[in-house]
Structure 1
Amino acid sequence: MQIRLWDNNLKVRLLGEALFNMLFWMYFPFITVYFGVALGNHIAGILMTVPPIFSIIGSLLGGALADRLGRRPIMLLGASLQTIMFALFALSPSHWIDYAAFIGIGFGGSIYRPASSAMVADLVPVQERRQVFATFTTANNLGAVLGPALGAIFFFQYRQELLWSCSFVLLIYFIAIYFIVHETLPAGANSLKATSSILQVFKEQWKGYGIIFRDKVFLVYILAGIFALVAIMQLDLYLAVYVIDYVPSQALFSWNGHSLMLSSTEILGWVLGLNGLLFVLFILPVTKWLRNWKERDVFVLSSLLSGVGTFALGLNTNIWFLFFVTIIFTFGEMVRSPVTQSFISRYAPEHARGQYMGADSLQFTIGRFLAPVTVFLSTWLPPMGIFSIILLSAFVSIVLYILLFRMYVEEDTA
């Protein structure tokens, strides 16, 4: 599905989210360091466990309200909240206000995302969704490649200017949503809009989530995703610890008696950069190549590549070997992203699509909670012990995905 043929809603979102993600990656990788310097690493570590809780609440709330009030109002709410919080961060005289603003930014984003994903599902035919979601992932990862390099300069030297830029871009995006984006809530969901009190609205939404979490197929899907993400999320967790602590400084190239030496920290930077670059260059062609694969096979391939690729990191510390296995586990992460969104958008009933999109985000939040256990265990276990746990987690996800698709008869979307 070519971009020029997209609905205007999707074009506006693609441009707006790409710009914002560029700015997001200019501040997000450095926020823990910022609070660590200001408040101490111990306090900063504790503080960083709180935002995921607000992300869970925001995702569930945003998804539920997107089905009741519509996609557009909830996207406007999320964008406006982020705009205000970035401005508060820029004006803040206190590190604690900075922290509150940071939580508010994440909360606004988590409210926005389920409605945004549901809108794609509303507008795009089932057979085209993987490609469209892959296009959005490519745009987002352009920011992940360029943002940290720019943020290393701007966040510490021109932080206020960067935060005001984020606020300004989101304000422009809010205006674009308001004037250009149209509502896509399916007609079948209109029955949910009956007038009632705020308390009654929340009771109905939580009741709806109760029904979702009694859906055995959906629960197995979430559980499989959690185990898969424990392996996938190690890139900025145990992988960083392993490379810095165990990979020695070495030459990237040697010629005529000269060599380009890289320290352990610089090798980590190259690995992270390669991961982001692969996403930008290959997610669209890989998604197109796998478009006729069954979703079960793509999920299994993803878990296998990410688990085996991450495990292989512990077999050799040569820089070119590390690049090779980085390619393997990156492709595992890459093939998964669009299929996850397309699966849940197709599985969810039309009238509850936003709620399912919100509940779907739980696998990422819980995965982010559990994934750091590898860093904690590394105090007692050698690297191959940690990598074995990561591989085991990937294999558990494979078993659960096979079970999932035995429970759920996959429709032919080819």
Structure 2
Amino acid sequence: MRTWDLNLKVRLIGETLFNLLFWMYYPFLTIYFSDSFGQSVAGLLMSVPPLVGIIANLLGGYLSDTLGRRRTMLLGSLVQVVMFALFALSLSDWINYIAYILISFGRTIYYPASSAMVADLTPERDRREVFAVFLTAFNIGAVLGPMLGSIFFFHYRSELLWSCTAATFLYLCAIFFLIRETVPEAESGKRLSGSLLSVLKAQIRSYKVIFYDKVFALFILAGIVVMTVIRQENTYLPIYISAHVPEQALFSWKSWSPNLGGVGVFGWMMGLSGIIFVLFSVPVARMFEKINDRTLLILSICVVGASLFLMGCTTNVWMLLLLMATMSFGELMQSPVSDSFVSKYAPAEKRGQYMGAATLQNTIGNFFAPVTMILSGWVPSSSVFGFILICALIGALLYGLLFRTLYGKEENIK
């Protein structure tokens, strides 16, 4: 890391600070909106931000290659600052919900430019490990965030949101004063021009070429199914844990026996997941660096799906923590490989747009993830977890088809 460009160092510190606060509120939004609007309505409402995110993803990737990485990151950060302040000031659940949607919009615009900047500044041979370091930074907040958030979000929400506003504003200033533009020379002459309609038409034409790429389209489809499964840790899982896991003793030592249940158990599960991500992201990336992308992507989603399914078979806090640890290792195998695959596959002059299109996996996956909340109103929890396992197996099959198509394409070129 001592040899890294200043851009990478500044962003690593800034994103770590912000994500510490992010994980203090994000995991509990499902519970918050369920209490405010009811579980079925909340399931529908939580499907809206990903739809907005689809537009933001494509826009973020397009702006990254035309307006520039730095300016796009500034725009996304500014939107978040304003919306966090609105969330902190608001006394209306509906305004809070709108603020949350626009916070997600700002984050989604930001990340294609952020990922493209990492690829701009990093040699191909080092990208998987560098993406793993940024994944570690993203999850440092997940170590203490959910455990602290289980207290602060419900009792000191205004103070927490003002802290998010301040942290995002400081990071906005750091981007403005310390980060330089990294867009490739071939793209540096491009600038946004004409009406909004002409810009949107140009964006659609550009992405149309990407989605006609059969290999990349399969990658997006597989990723959507996979992210629908992974996002259950922030959609159906907290609902299940809070409703079905009774208060129980963590351990007994003499006369001391700390109890944990409901939201507290979920907070500890997310905290454990964060610890694993922080401690093992880079070691796992190094451990599997000689294993091909196909094997890692298929294995990772099978591990995640099986872990989630087994969570639906127990209410014991220690078994839940063990299964969360297993699921976290599955996610560790998946994320850096996915980012590295896109950076290797995408043409350099369209890297921002490919990164933006790739993040559709997250936004569309987030859109479909709340379907389990709606499904839980009609079928028992065991059936919901069975549905999650089936989705995981479909994701594994799609990854297998993706690489068979890719290898066939390479053979045809030869």
TM-score normalized with structure 2 length:
0.89
Residues 257-295 of structure 1 deviation map (CA, whole Å, 9 limit, x = unaligned): 875443354433332322222112211211111122211
Aligned twin of 1:134: 132
| Identity in percent | 52
Residue 18 of structure 1 pairs with residue 16 of structure 2? yes
Alignment partners' CA distance in 2, 1:201 and 1:239: 40
The 5 A counterparts of 1:246-325 are 246-255=244-253, 259-325=257-323
Aligned-residue offset at 1:115: 0.5
Relative distance call for 1:147 and 1:316 in structure 2 (3 A) is closer
Aligned twin of 1:213: 211
CA contact (8 A) 1:59 1:358 kept: yes
Aligned-residue offset at 1:158: 4.2
The 5 A counterparts of 1:158-173 are 158-173=156-171
Of 208, 222, 225, the match for 1:224: 222
Moved more, 162-171 or 213-222: 162-171
Aligned-residue offset at 1:256: 5.5
> Is there any run of 5+ residues in structure 2 with no aligned partner, and where?
none
The 5 A counterparts of 1:302-381 are 302-381=300-379
Relative distance call for 1:275 and 1:46 in structure 2 (3 A) is same
CA contact (8 A) 1:81 1:104 kept: yes
Alignment partners' CA distance in 2, 1:62 and 1:144: 25
Q: Which amino acid aligns with 1:76?
A: L
Alignment partners' CA distance in 2, 1:312 and 1:400: 23
Relative distance call for 1:284 and 1:64 in structure 2 (3 A) is same
Alignment partners' CA distance in 2, 1:35 and 1:54: 18
Alignment partners' CA distance in 2, 1:165 and 1:246: 33
For the residue of structure 1 that corresponds to 2:250, the secondary structure is strand
Residues 137-196 of structure 1 deviation map (CA, whole Å, 9 limit, x = unaligned): 111111122223333444455444433332222222222212221111112224644854
Relative distance call for 1:307 and 1:46 in structure 2 (3 A) is closer
Aligned twin of 2:197: 199
Moved more, 138-147 or 159-168: 159-168
Residues 44-72 of structure 1 deviation map (CA, whole Å, 9 limit, x = unaligned): 55443322222111111011111112111
Q: Which amino acid aligns with 1:267?
A: V
TM-score normalized with structure 1 length:
0.89
Residues 310-346 of structure 1 deviation map (CA, whole Å, 9 limit, x = unaligned): 2223444443333332222221111111111111111
Aligned-residue offset at 1:95: 4.7
The alignment's C-alpha RMSD in Å is 2.7
Aligned twin of 1:146: 144
CA contact (8 A) 1:189 1:350 kept: no
Q: How many residues align?
A: 409
Moved more, 227-236 or 179-188: 227-236
Aligned-residue offset at 1:207: 0.7
> Is there any run of 5+ residues in structure 1 with no aligned partner, and where?
none
Q: Which amino acid aligns with 2:169?
A: L
Residue 402 of structure 1 pairs with residue 400 of structure 2? yes
For the residue of structure 2 that corresponds to 1:174, the secondary structure is helix
Moved more, 271-280 or 298-307: 271-280
Q: Which amino acid aligns with 2:311?
A: L
Of 70, 81, 84, the match for 1:83: 81
